[in-house]
Structures are given as structure tokens and as C-alpha cells.
């Protein structure tokens, strides 16, 4: 497994390329590779073919190919006549070859297909994707302990210093609209965009901790958020590359915990560092973590996007056989289009999809849910620093309550999938039907009640006469609401638009992040002027008002989708 991971990684591809396939070879680069006969370029003479036909029958494998020692070698390209071609086509009937020049998987059990990887390999790759997401997401909240030091050193106001958080969130909201669509181009795939953008994410952190003015910090916080964005927007799409639809909800749930864990742990590790060594140290921690992740991912994260894997296979087979007619389905689909046309379509697609009624409805709703979340976060320093007198390091510890509730929330979500949603889906399939994507929203609507409940408990128990653990418990109850809302909407939009997962997730990230990014700027003023109790009550009221909006999407979402040419027809 490790050898395959390294071979399929970014570093592995580079080593394979410069060694011309001698190092870290793919199966079709080995001397013993059995070439499917229909991939060979032109017929032999009849006299030669009559000899070859008998041998080929004896040396066929399960995919209907013939051995290179008999029909084909890397050093000497032999070819077959019409009779041998007829035989090879009969052997390949199980592969359903409608066009013999299209390079597909060699069978349902092709080991290069990410969905056929071993459970251990799939789990490890899922962990790597979650690590990448965690690394970028932690960059938002790890900045918050630096804000007091930035205010003091550069003599700026709290809203001015908080712009570093706002611009980072805005950057990772805008970035996917330009970077994620490139991941749907087979020539790039997932990995090349992930690795290139993560490298720039690391490089552009350097001007932040070496800055001599606030303007530099703010500019490069936006830039780092922009280049870190593909991991946040399309990590779920990468999970969909390697897991079947039955398993996807579970693994996207784990990935989402990694996404939630970043903003939660950021203030914890950043707070103690800033308290001990100044505002630059949380930024040092971020570059150390992201550099470590970059090295691990460069060495071990394989390509997961099916069209890219098959495109690379087609390129190797063209070189091996000399048959320039071989191509992947993605290449065939874009025949006659210029590079500019392909890029234009890919870059415009997220903006076109973002205007889809169902998607816009879901994205704006989730954007406001996140906006309330980010606004409410600004109450934490008022509660735990001003009321309970926690120092800068300790003030991040209450966020750990979210991790405790995350464990219970994910367990409950997995049980719901296992014992309610999946059996229901199976029954629908047994009747020849498919559950509508809107069914994914039901649990999100139920879980929404946790948000106002959490806000009310937190707001009205934050006082010196009540132990600090009570508002911590109240805050922890927020996570089931926002987590399951997030899960249900992401599963909804990707199941409704399965062919454009990266683009619809990019659009969701844009709406979610741009709406939420503005709210931290006035969060402290909001709670100081209204008070913790009334301010939390107002947010709870808004959250309750959003629940009928969510119900409307559940009830009438299918009508909105009928207007689209991109969506699944169910």
C-alpha cells in the first residue's frame, strides 16, 4: 500500500516522469504488463496472425488481454489482424467496450480505481485530506490570540486588527471560485491544485510574521486564505472520489469534524503561544503545521479524481502502444475545444451554478447560520476574560467543549445514517426509485433547534454567580446544530448536482464565507451595547426565524431543481 501511495503522490509522479517509468512504475510500465488486444494499433498479415491467434487463446487473462511475450512487448510492437481483433473483442465482452479506443478501468475490480482501494488505504487517504483541511481551517482562529498584540504594536483599533480574521475568511470564500474548478479539469486533477495552492499558502505566511505594518498583515492574510481555499471547498469532493455513495455521509462527517476542529483548537494553541512569546508565535505555529502537512501530502497523498487517473493511463498507453487513437472519455468529450474554451467553461461553471435557485437558497441559508456563529464567537472574550478572568492562554480552553460535543454529535449522526436513512434509501431502490436529495435535509432541520437553545443558555448563564462550566456546556450545545446543518446541506447539494461537486462546493464556500466574514468586525460592539443575554436572545430569535426557511427548502427544493439543466432529475 505504501509503495502505491508514494507512486501516486505528487513526488511519485515526478520521479516516475523523470525516470521514464523505470522508478515507481505503473502496471502498464512493467515488462510483464498484459496489453488489451483492442488497444493495439493496426493489423498483422494474415499468415502471422494465424500463429498468434492460437497462442493468444491460451494466454488470455480475465480482462481479455494477451501477454506481451506473445503479442506485444515494449521493445517490439506486434499487431493483430481482423481475426485476432474479433477474438480479443469476444474476450473483452465483460468490459462492455463500445469504443475500443476509449481507455477505461480494466474491470470492476481495477485496483487503480480509488473506490476499489483497500479500506485501510481509503481511510489513510481520508485522514490526509482531513489533515489538509484542518491545517487551513486552523489558520482562521489561530490569528485571534494575536489581535491584542497587533493592536498594541501597530496602534490600531480592535475592528482594524480583526480585519485579519475577516480577510482570511473572505479569501478562502473567494478562492474556490477560481481554483476549485481547475480540479475538475482532468489535466490538473485534485492533487496538482492542492499541492500548488498549499505551497503558496506557506510562502505567503512569511510576510505576515515579518510585517512591519498592519497593511502587510491584512493583505497577506487575504492571500493566504485565498490559496488555502481548495482544501476547504473540495475536500468533500475528494472524499466522494474514493468512497461509494453509501459510505460518503460517514466519511464527509469525519472530514467535517476536521474542519470544525481547526477553528476550535486554533485559539487554544495560539493563546498560550501569544501569551508567552508575543503575537507572532501563533503565526509561527501555523507555518510549522502547514509545512509539515505539505511534506506529508507531497509524499503520500495520491490522485483521487477518476478522469485524471484515466487520462494519465491513456497517455502511458499511447506511448506504450504507439496507438495515438487511444484516449480517455474526458479527452473525447473535449475534442475540438481549445484550452482557452475548456478553461473558460470550468471557471464560469461555479458562477453559473451559484445562480441555481436551489443552490442559492441553500447557500444563503447556511451563510447566515455561519454568520451567527462567527458573531457569537466574539462574545467568548467578554465572558471568559472579562467575567471569569481567564488569561490569554486559558481563554481558548472553553472552545474544547465543542470537541466533546462533536464526538456525541458524529456518533448520533452515524447511527441516524445507519439505522434510518440507509434502510429508507434501500427500500426506495427496491421499489425502483431514488430518494430525493431533499431527504438529506430532514435531520438538519431537526438539529437546528440546538442553535437557539445553546445561545439562550450561554447568554443568560454568563455571570459571576454561575460557575464558568455552565456557559461552556451551553456553548457546546451549539455544535450539533451547526455541524448537522453543515452536513445535511453539503450532502444535499452534492447529491443534487453529483457531476459538479467541486463547483457547487466552491459556490457554497463563497456564500458561507463572504457572509460570515463581515460579522466578527462588529461582534464585540454588538454584545457590549446589547448585553450578553439580550444579544444572545436576539441571535436565538434570528436562528428560529431561519428554521422555516430551511423547512421551505426541504418542502419545495425539488421544484427549484426542476428549473435546472445541471441537477439530478430525481
Longest C-alpha distance within the chain, in Å? 99
Burial class, 201, CB count within 10 angstroms (exposed 0-12 / middle 13-18 / buried 19+): buried
Cα–Cα distance between 132 and 190 in angstroms, integer? 13
pLDDT band with cut points at 50, 70 and 90 for residue 88: very low
pLDDT band with cut points at 50, 70 and 90 for residue 62: very low
List the single range of 88-97, 363-372, 389-398 with lowest mean pLDDT.
Answer: 88-97
Is the pLDDT score of 60 beyond 70? no
pLDDT band with cut points at 50, 70 and 90 for residue 61: very low
pLDDT mean over 458-478: 94
pLDDT band with cut points at 50, 70 and 90 for residue 364: confident
Q: Please tell me the predicted confidence (pLDDT) of residue 568.
A: 61
List the single range of 69-83, 141-155, 320-334, 457-471 with lowest mean pLDDT.
Answer: 69-83
Range with the largest mean pLDDT of 42-56, 79-93, 120-134, 340-354? 120-134
Mean pLDDT of the chain: 85
Q: In which region does residue 531 sit, left (phi positive, over 0), alpha (psi from -120 to 50) or beta (all else)?
A: left
pLDDT band with cut points at 50, 70 and 90 for residue 245: confident
Q: Please tell me the predicted confidence (pLDDT) of residue 570.
A: 53
Q: Please tell me the predicted confidence (pLDDT) of residue 99.
A: 79
Cα–Cα distance between 481 and 534 in angstroms, integer? 21
Cα–Cα distance between 305 and 181 in angstroms, integer? 13
Is the pLDDT score of 65 beyond 70? no
Across-strand partners of 103? Answer: 328
More confident residue, 100 or 11: 11
Q: Please tell me the predicted confidence (pLDDT) of residue 42.
A: 61
Burial class, 119, CB count within 10 angstroms (exposed 0-12 / middle 13-18 / buried 19+): exposed
DSSP alpha helix (H) spans, 180-305: 189-203, 206-209, 214-242, 245-277, 280-300
pTM: 0.83
List the single range of 258-272, 411-425, 462-476 with lowest mean pLDDT.
Answer: 258-272
**3-class secondary structure, 14:** helix
pLDDT band with cut points at 50, 70 and 90 for residue 107: confident
Q: Please tell me the predicted confidence (pLDDT) of residue 46.
A: 52
Is the separation of the CB atoms in 292 and 202 below 8 Å? no
DSSP alpha helix (H) spans, 278-338: 280-300, 306-321, 329-333
Amino acid at each position: 500500500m505504501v509503495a502505491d501511495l508514494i507512486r501516486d503522490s505528487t513526488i511519485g509522479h515526478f520521479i516516475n516522469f523523470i525516470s521514464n517509468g523505470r522508478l515507481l512504475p505503473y502496471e502498464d510500465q512493467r515488462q510483464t504488463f498484459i496489453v488489451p488486444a483492442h488497444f493495439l494499433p493496426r493489423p498483422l498479415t494474415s499468415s502471422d496472425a494465424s500463429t498468434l491467434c492460437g497462442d493468444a487463446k491460451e494466454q488470455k487473462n480475465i480482462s481479455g488481454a494477451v501477454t506481451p511475450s506473445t503479442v506485444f512487448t515494449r521493445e517490439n510492437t506486434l499487431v493483430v489482424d481482423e481475426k485476432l481483433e474479433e477474438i480479443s473483442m469476444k474476450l473483452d465482452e465483460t468490459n462492455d467496450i463500445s469504443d475500443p479506443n476509449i481507455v477505461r478501468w480494466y474491470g470492476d475490480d481495477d485496483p487503480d480505481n480509488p473506490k476499489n482501494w483497500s479500506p485501510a488505504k481509503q481511510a489513510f487517504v481520508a485522514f490526509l485530506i482531513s489533515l489538509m483541511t484542518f491545517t487551513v481551517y486552523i489558520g482562521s482562529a489561530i490569528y485571534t490570540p494575536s489581535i491584542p498584540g497587533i493592536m498594541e504594536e501597530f496602534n490600531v483599533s480592535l475592528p482594524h486588527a480583526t480585519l485579519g480574521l475577516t480577510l482570511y475568511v473572505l479569501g478562502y470564500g473567494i478562492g474556490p471560485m477560481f481554483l476549485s474548478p481547475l480540479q475538475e479539469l482532468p489535466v490538473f486533477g485534485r492533487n496538482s491544485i492542492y499541492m500548488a495552492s498549499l505551497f503558496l499558502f506557506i510562502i505567503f505566511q512569511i510576510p505576515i510574521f515579518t510585517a512591519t505594518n498592519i497593511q502587510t498583515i491584512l493583505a497577506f492574510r487575504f492571500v493566504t486564505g485565498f490559496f488555502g481555499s481548495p482544501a476547504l471547498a473540495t475536500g468533500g469532493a475528494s472524499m466522494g472520489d474514493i468512497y461509494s455513495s453509501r459510505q460518503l455521509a460517514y466519511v464527509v462527517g469525519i472530514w467535517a469534524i476536521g474542519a470544525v476542529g481547526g477553528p476550535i483548537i486554533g485559539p487554544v494553541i495560539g493563546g498560550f503561544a501569544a501569551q508567552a512569546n508575543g503575537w507572532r508565535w501563533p503565526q509561527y505555529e501555523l507555518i510549522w503545521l502547514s509545512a509539515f502537512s505539505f511534506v506529508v501530502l507531497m509524499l503520500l497523498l495520491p490522485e483521487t479524481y477518476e478522469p485524471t487517473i484515466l487520462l494519465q493511463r491513456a497517455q502511458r498507453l499511447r506511448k506504450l502502444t504507439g496507438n495515438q487513437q487511444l484516449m480517455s472519455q474526458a479527452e473525447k468529450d473535449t475534442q475540438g475545444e481549445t484550452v482557452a474554451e475548456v478553461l473558460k467553461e470550468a471557471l464560469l461553471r461555479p458562477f453559473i451554478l451559484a445562480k441555481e435557485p436551489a443552490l442559492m437558497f441553500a447557500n444563503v441559508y447556511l451563510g447566515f447560520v455561519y454568520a451567527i456563529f462567527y458573531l457569537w464567537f466574539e462574545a467568548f472574550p467578554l465572558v471568559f476574560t472579562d467575567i471569569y478572568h481567564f488569561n490569554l492562554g486559558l481563554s481558548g480552553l472553553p472552545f474544547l467543549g465543542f470537541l466533546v460535543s462533536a464526538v456525541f454529535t458524529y456518533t448520533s449522526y452515524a447511527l441516524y445514517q445507519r439505522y434510518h436513512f440507509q434502510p429508507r434509501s434501500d427500500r426506495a431502490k427496491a421499489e425502483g426509485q431514488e430518494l430525493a436529495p431533499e431527504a438529506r435535509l430532514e435531520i438538519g432541520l431537526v438539529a437546528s433547534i440546538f442553535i437557539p437553545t445553546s445561545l439562550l443558555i450561554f447568554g443568560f448563564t454568563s455571570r459571576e454567580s454561575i460557575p464558568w462550566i455552565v456557559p461552556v456546556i451551553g456553548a457546546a450545545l451549539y455544535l450539533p446544530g451547526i455541524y448537522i446543518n453543515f452536513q445535511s446541506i453539503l450532502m444535499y447539494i452534492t447529491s443534487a448536482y453529483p457531476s459538479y461537486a467541486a463547483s457547487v462546493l466552491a459556490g457554497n464556500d463563497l456564500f458561507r464565507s463572504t457572509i460570515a466574514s463581515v460579522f466578527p468586525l462588529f461582534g464585540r460592539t454588538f454584545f457590549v451595547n446589547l448585553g450578553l443575554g439580550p444579544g444572545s436572545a436576539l441571535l436565538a430569535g434570528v436562528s428560529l426565524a431561519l428554521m422555516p426557511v430551511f423547512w421551505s427548502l426541504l418542502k419545495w427544493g425539488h421544484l427549484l431543481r426542476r428549473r435546472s439543466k445541471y441537477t439530478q432529475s430525481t
